[in-house]
A = this chain, B = another copy of it.
Amino acid sequence: MLKAKVHVTLKNGVLDPQGKAIGNALSALGFNGVDNVRQGKFIELDLDETDPAAAEARVKDMCEKLLANTVIENYRIDIAG
């Protein structure tokens, strides 16, 4: 069994209102000097697969089909034992 970790982040240039809201809330709380807050998703899953390359290919397929909106989002896959 392998574990996959997927980061889905908005592409540069895509507006991130959620990140903006976090940035505003941080400065309202008195945290200054914080900039460029971006929020993404982090998805962990277990795969019944033993070959890391095959696992990565499957997760890539999942990202393209479901996990990420590739028009506006990038994804990064890490496979761990």
Q: What is the interface of chain A, defined by CB distance below 8 A to chain B?
A: 7-9, 19, 22-23, 25-26, 29, 31-49, 58, 61-62, 65-67
Number of this chain's copies in the complex = 2
A65: B residues at CB distance < 8 A: 29
How many Å lie between the Cα of A47 and that of B42 in the bound state? 22
How far, in Å, is A75 (CB) from chain B's closest CB?
Answer: 11
- The reply to whether B45 and A36 form a contact with Cβ atoms under 8 Å apart is yes
- The reply to whether A46 and B36 form a contact with Cβ atoms under 8 Å apart is yes
User: Contacts A26-B66, A29-B66, A65-B29; is A39 near B34 (CB within 8 Å)?
Assistant: no
How far, in Å, is A74 (CB) from chain B's closest CB?
Answer: 12
How many Å lie between the Cα of A35 and that of B44 in the bound state? 9
